[in-house]
Structure formats: C-alpha cells, structure tokens
Amino acid sequence: MRIKLLFASLLAFLGIVPAAGARAEINVGVTLSATGPAASLGIPEKNTFALLPTTIAGQKINYIILDDASDTTTAVKNTRKLLAENKVDVVIGSTTTPNSLAMIDVVAEGETPMISMAASARIIDPMDGKRAWVFKTPQNDAQMATAIVQHMLDNQVRTVAYIGFADAYGEGWWNEFSKIAEARKIQIVGNERFNRADTSVTGQVLKILAAKPDAVLVGGAGTPAALPQRSLKEKGYKGLMYQTHGVANADFLRVCGKDCEGTFLPAGPVLVAAQLPDGNPIKKVALDYVRKYEAMHGKGTVSTFGAHAWDASLLLAHAVPEALKKAQPGTPEFRKALRQALEKTTNLTAAHGVFNMSPQDHLGFDQRARVMVRIDNGTWKLVE
Amino acid sequence: MDVQIALLLGQDGVTNGAIYALLALALVLVFAVTRVIFIPQGEFVAFGALTLASLQAGKLPGTVWLLLAMGMAIGLIEGATAVRARRFHRLPLIILVNCGAPLLLAASLLAVSPAGLPLPVQVLLTLMLVVPLGPMLYRLAYQPVAEASVLALLIVSVAVHVTLTGIGLLFFGAEGSRTPAFTDASFTVGDVVLQGQTLLVIVASTLLIVALYLFFERTLYGKALRATAMNRTGARLMGISGDLAGLLSFTLAGAIGAFSGVLISPITTIYYDSGFLIGLKGFVGAIIGGLASYPAAAAGAVLVGLLEAYSSFWASAFKEVIVFTLIIPVLLWRSLKTRHGEEA
C-alpha cells in the first residue's frame, strides 16, 4: 500500500518536471573548484554566482553549481552529469586549466557551449572542431607575460630568474615567459620550481641569489606565491620583484606583508577599478561588480577571480536573447544558436576587458584587458 | 655550491627535520600502542598553526566549534552508556568533562579579546583548543573499532584525514596564514647568520624529545604505554586499560602535532591542507625507523629534512620525487634485513 502511494507520488513528481521544463527555463551548469588546491580561486567564483541575475530577457535562469574539488576526474564527471541529468544549455567552468582541458571532449560530444574560467590559452587554441564549443573569460597567460616583459624592458632589466609552482600553472608561465623574454633579449639566469605546500624554499632562493638577477618573477597563485618572495627578502635580495595575476587577492597582501612592497604584477583592470581613468569604459562595469560583491561579503573581499565568473554571465546575458530568437531552451538547436551568438560577441565591455570574439578567437581581449599594478603600502596601485 | 650555501641549506634542513622528527615520534608512538597509522597527524600541525594565527588576528578560531561538537558527541555517547548501565552517579562528571570544559573555554575566548594577550598565553590557548581533539578523535573514531585489523584502522585514518581537511577548509578558508616570529634575534657564527627562530625550533624540539624520553622511562603512565606497545594482551592482563593507553597516546600525538604547528608557523605559510605533506615526510622518517624505533625514526626524519633542503638547491622540480623515492631503498633494505611474521 505504502509502496503504491510512493510510486504514485513519484509518478506525479516526474509528471511535473517535464511540465516545468516546457516553460523553457534556461539551465546553466557550473562546475568549479570550491575545495582543493584551487579553492582560493574557486570560492570567490562560487560567491559570484549568488550575485547573478536570475532572469535574462524574461527567461528564468537556473544555476546548477557543482564542486569539482580541483580534481580533473571530478570535473569531467560533473560535466557529464550536468549534460545528461540536468540537460543544461551551457556549462560554465572549471576554475583550473587541467580541469577545463579535460572537459572539452565532453562538451563537444554533447554539443553544448562551455565558458571556462581558467587562464591557459591552450583551452581555446589551436581552434578546432571540439574547441569551437569552448570559450573563456580570463586573459591568456601570454598576454600577461608580454606585459611583464615590456615592463622589465622599460626598467632596464637585463637578467631575470624565474621561480614557479611545480604544476601546470608554473610550467605554463615558464613556457610563455621564457619564450617572450628570450625573443626580447632578456637573459634568463635561473629557473626553479617549488610546491604549493612547501615549508621552505631556501635552496631555490640561494641558487637564484648566486645568479644575481636584475629581477625575479614568481610564477605562483594565491598566498603560496609569497613564500619565495619573503625568503628572497630575508636573504637580502635587492632587485625588482614580479608576481603573476594569480596572486591578486587580499590574502596575498596579508600574508606577504611588507616584504611585498614595490612588487609589480599584471592584472585585470577590475583589481584597481576605482583608480581607472573615468574615460575607460571598463571602469563602470568593474565598479558595479566590486560594489555588488562587497555589499554581500564585506569590504576588501573582492578578488579578480570572481570577476571571471561575472564576465561569463555578461557573455551569456549578451548571447541568450540572440539564441532565443532561433530556438527554445533545452533543445540542441538552442545550444547551437547560443554557441553562434557567443562567437559573434563584439564590443562587450566586461569587468576584465572588452570582448571581441571571432570564430578564431574565443576570448577576444585586447590590451585594455590588462594593467600593471604595484604593491604600495599594502594596497594595489595602478602603474600609469 | 660554496661552504656558506651548504651551511645555510644544512641549517634549513635541520630545522625542518626537527619538525619532521617530532611528527615521526608521534606516528611511531601511536602505531606502537594502538596499531593505528595516524594519517591525520599532519592536520594537528595545520590546526595548531592556524588556530594560533586566528587568535592573533583577533578572530574566534573554528577549532572551538569542533571542540564543542566533539565534546557534545562524546558526552552523548558516554551519557547514554552510563544511563543504560544505570550508573547515574557518573553522569555529572561525564557532562562536566566533555561539554562543560569546552563550553568554559569557548566562553572565556568570547569574553576576552585573544589578540591582545601575550604570546605565551596565546600559545597555551592554542594548545588547549587543539590537543584535546586528539583523545576525542580516538574516542569517537578509533575506540569503537580498536580491535580491528591494521588495514581497517588505516581506512578509518584516511576517512578522518579527509574529514579534518574539509573541516579545516571550512574553518580557516583556502588561503594560508603566517604568524609573526617569536624572536627577531639572529646570531653570526663565522660567515653564517643563524636565525633565532630556527634555533628556537631546534631547541624546543630537542627539549620535547628529552621530555618524551623521560616520560617513557620514569613515569607510571609512560611505562604503561611501553608495556601496551610491547604486548597488548599481556598489558591488559596486568591491569593496563587498552582504552586508556589509546587515549593517552592520542593526547601525546595531538600535543606534539599542535606544538609543531606553533613552532613552524612563523617560518612558513601554513594552509588548511599543509599538514598532510608535513605529516607524510614525518611518516617517511618513521618508516626509516621501521615504525618501531624512536631514535631511528628521529634520525630518519632529520635525514629527510636535509635531503629536502639539498635537493631543493640542485633539482627543485624533483624535490618531492627525491624525498619520497627514499622510501623504496629503505623498504628494500628493511625487508631484506628483518624476518617478517604475521601481524605480531
């Protein structure tokens, strides 16, 4: 008897679900790294999804947010689940490059557009049949590396040493940076690796000091990138210090303290939104995001990583009305139309830059998407 | 590599090695007494360091809530057991120890602002918050399955480790913390500058090791632990409670872990998940000692620290590979040298 009743209610429930689907809500599947090694990037992204509008062009948007624990296998599993069970129209994620690369096959097979929040250019390059479905919002590493090399040249740096994470992030930066630096005739005199969880980098730092570089670039993300810098200062290094945009959050300033004074790094304009000149169109969008985020999480909590999620939603808000003209959400036609609309994004001002996409370029940022920043009295200062 | 660099690296290696040695001793102790391979040992380091950092930042550390929750859970279990056995007179003591003491600690933390307290008091508070988690973990996770096989206990350890890491992320966030140095003093010996902080780590570790030695050699409880480690059944026949031995060894492990965390947090940035790798390196040291010999474990751990320092100079990308590959020749040598019986 009870089983029958359960069955009946189950059937009734199943009956309701397709009915709700018929009203054609848009399902956005999100997988991000809110736990694990990339959590410092994933958590602000996750927080950002709570700020997003729940309707676009009058259509209700459902965000289905899953955590992949910074793990590639879980990211793939999440993506399959989002496609098969939640029938999502678009996937946003993941936070890290390895996860995003692994998801490409899955979304291409399911013919669903994907917007990655990870940095590496390899996610959208070289453009092929599978990557046609993949877009990304963060600046490419190469773009940031070019900014650093340019700044080094402007400051008469002749020799440079690199110390980076012993993982995909550090390797990616090493590849981009060494290529560009050598092309611009800056001599690389050191190349060291360290681990996120290392308790000491004395060995690496001593080796770098022995090479006497004019500048040192630390290729790390979040607070772990403070360790080599503090060790270098402790051992009496006096040259220029560069960090990557991976450190652009308030915790880095807290952990690194006064050892990080005068450090240069390239970053998305959202980091110094309030200091941008009034004529810059990005200022308004970036400040809007900063205000909304800090209203919910408190002053000084905003980081550039969450803004990548914000930009992904801006892309969607731009593309969804176009796609709605062609098909109903939940259908393969809608996903195809959404992909095409995303690819046609032109002159869309976001918190990190201005998107101008093309079939060959699924990021579409130009030089406006990065600024050089100096750490000054424990705050980020825009370098003119 | 000149002499100065070699000496600096040696100093760095010995400092880290001293921390690894403390953890290796705790691992050997816990394994000998309870047959538990205590993977969550490293979590105590992280919790100790991050609790101290939260106290100094004027925040209420999340470990308070963990302590309260675990105290309540144990209070419930013990209370229910006492009621079922109709031993109502034991109830007040059970409630006072498991729920009252953590509540008192939490209330006093809320009442005074911990950021303004002198450093020794902050360290003491940290130890009071983190050390009891050791015996509480034993009571909740290990005591119910104390007679299970080593493998089953290992699986429990993995579960506890994963849970504690998750709780750590919840309490302390993804970003790390570093506490200010205990001392800014530095000494110049010849060409080499000795940091006061690193000397402090080495001296404190050595003192703790001596204290442990005295505890095991001179006190009744220490002797009881040694007896349990040698022969569990025999010790029980002599009236040494297995549960008490377990609780005691976990208390010591918790104390060593939390103390290591306090020592190491001014030297490096500690994250909610840093403990695992630190504990693992202590484990390599403990393996060199065959999970049985205390001096060999300590020496092995210092060797790990030195190897780590020098390999970070020569081949930084392969540092962890070199450190953990050390375990293979050691295991080979040990398996050739010793004859194995079934779980003794």
* Closest by Cβ to A39, choosing from B8, B169, B308: B169
Chain A residues whose beta carbon lies within 8 Å of the beta carbon of residue B191: none
User: Please, which residues bridge with residue A295 across strands?
Assistant: none
Angle, alpha carbons A274-A277-A278 (nearest 5°): 90
Residue of B2, B19, B175, B267 best to disrupt the A interface, most CBs of A under 10 A: B175
What chain A residue is nearest to B193 in terms of C-alpha separation? A235
The pLDDT of residue A156 is 93
How many angstroms separate the CA atoms of A361 and B29, rounded? 59
The pLDDT of residue A169 is 82
For the structural domain made of A141-267, what CATH number should be given?
Answer: 3.40.50.2300
φ, ψ of residue A241 to 5 degrees: the values are -120, 135
The pLDDT of residue A362 is 94
Please write the tens of the pLDDT for every residue from A116-126. 999 888 899 88
Tokens describing residue B22: 């403390």
Task: Classify residue B63: in a domain, yes or no.
Answer: no
φ, ψ of residue B156 to 5 degrees: the values are -60, -40
Interface of A with B in 314-353 (CB under 8 A): none
How many angstroms separate the CA atoms of A268 and A334, rounded? 32
pLDDT value at A21 more than 50:
no
With an 8 Å Cβ cutoff, are B269 and A166 in contact?
Answer: no
Chain A residues whose beta carbon lies within 8 Å of the beta carbon of residue B281: none
The pLDDT of residue A7 is 53
The pLDDT of residue B335 is 82
With an 8 Å Cβ cutoff, are A223 and B176 in contact?
Answer: yes
The pLDDT of residue A2 is 54
Residue span of the structural domain in which B148 resides? 3-58+113-179+218-337
Q: Do domains A2-139+300-366 and A141-267 have the same CATH topology?
A: yes
Chain B residues whose beta carbon lies within 8 Å of the beta carbon of residue A166: 316-317, 319-320
* Closest by Cβ to B269, choosing from A43, A204, A226: A226
Task: Classify residue B316: in a domain, yes or no.
Answer: yes
Chain B residues whose beta carbon lies within 8 Å of the beta carbon of residue A255: 175-178, 269
Q: What does DSSP say about strands B186-189 and B192-195: parallel, antiparallel, or unpaired? A: antiparallel
Chain B residues whose beta carbon lies within 8 Å of the beta carbon of residue A297: none
* Closest by Cβ to B16, choosing from A39, A40, A199: A199
Q: Residue A296's closest CA among A93, A31, A94, A44?
A: A44
pLDDT value at A15 more than 70:
no
Residue of B193, B316, B324 best to disrupt the A interface, most CBs of A under 10 A: B316
How many angstroms separate the CA atoms of A371 and A203, rounded? 33
Distances (CA, A) of B107 to A352, B64, B111, B121, B124: 45, 10, 6, 16, 16
Note whether A183 and A160 are within 8 A (CB). no
The pLDDT of residue A18 is 43
User: Would you give the DSSP letter of residue B98?
Assistant: I
Task: Residue count of chain B, please give it.
Answer: 344
φ, ψ of residue B253 to 5 degrees: the values are -60, -45
Task: Classify residue B106: in a domain, yes or no.
Answer: no
Interface of A with B in 183-212 (CB under 8 A): 192-204, 206-207, 210
Q: Residue A33's closest CA among A24, A42, A25?
A: A42
- Shortest Cα–Cα distance, B19 to chain A (Å): 11
The pLDDT of residue A174 is 93
Tokens describing residue B292: 């049985």
Query: Sign (positive/negative) of CA torsion B299, B305, B307, B309?
Result: negative
Indicate the pLDDT class of residue A161, thresholds 50, 70 and 90.
Answer: very high
What chain A residue is nearest to B15 in terms of C-alpha separation? A200
Note whether B188 and B194 are within 8 A (CB). yes
Task: Classify residue B50: in a domain, yes or no.
Answer: yes
A40 vs B: CB within 8 A: yes
pLDDT value at A207 more than 50:
yes
How many angstroms separate the CA atoms of A38 and A182, rounded? 30
Phi-psi sector, A222: left (phi>0), alpha (psi -120 to 50), beta: left
Chain A residues whose beta carbon lies within 8 Å of the beta carbon of residue B194: none
The stretches in chain B having pLDDT less than 70 are 1, 190-191, 339-344
What chain A residue is nearest to B273 in terms of C-alpha separation? A197
Note whether A364 and A357 are within 8 A (CB). yes
The pLDDT of residue B122 is 92
Task: Classify residue B198: in a domain, yes or no.
Answer: no
A222 vs B: CB within 8 A: yes
Chain A residues whose beta carbon lies within 8 Å of the beta carbon of residue B264: 199
User: Would you give the DSSP letter of residue B177?
Assistant: B
Q: Say how many domains are in chain B.
A: 1
* CATH tag for A2-139+300-366 (out of 3.40.50.2300, 3.40.630.30, 2.60.40.10, 3.40.50.720): 3.40.50.2300
With an 8 Å Cβ cutoff, are B277 and A197 in contact?
Answer: yes
The pLDDT of residue A14 is 47
Q: Residue B313's closest CA among A215, A165, A200?
A: A200
With an 8 Å Cβ cutoff, are B316 and A39 in contact?
Answer: no
What chain B residue is nearest to A236 in terms of C-alpha separation? B193
User: Would you give the DSSP letter of residue A380?
Assistant: E
Interface of A with B in 121-180 (CB under 8 A): 163, 166
* Closest by Cβ to B12, choosing from A163, A166, A200: A200
Distances (CA, A) of A29 to A25, A116, A170, B215, B257: 13, 12, 29, 58, 41
Please write the tens of the pLDDT for every residue from A301-340. 888 999 999 999 999 999 999 999 999 999 999 999 999 9
Indicate the pLDDT class of residue A20, thresholds 50, 70 and 90.
Answer: very low
Domain boundaries, chain A: 2-139+300-366, 141-267
* Closest by Cβ to A206, choosing from B5, B176, B271: B5
Please write the tens of the pLDDT for every residue from A259-286. 889 999 999 999 999 999 999 999 999 9
How many angstroms separate the CA atoms of A150 and A217, rounded? 13
H or E element in which residue B246 lies: helix B242-264
* Closest by Cβ to A255, choosing from B177, B278, B313: B177
More confident residue, B317 or A173: A173
Structure ipTM: 0.73
- Shortest Cα–Cα distance, B314 to chain A (Å): 8
Helices B220-230 and B3-34 sit at what angle, rounded to 10 degrees?
80
User: Please, which residues bridge with residue A59 across strands?
Assistant: A56
What chain A residue is nearest to B8 in terms of C-alpha separation? A202
Q: Assign 3-class secondary structure to A219-256.
A: ECCCHHHHHHHHHHHHCCCCCEEEECHHHCCHHHHHHH
Task: Classify residue B202: in a domain, yes or no.
Answer: no
A300 vs B: CB within 8 A: no
Task: Classify residue B88: in a domain, yes or no.
Answer: no
- Shortest Cα–Cα distance, B49 to chain A (Å): 13
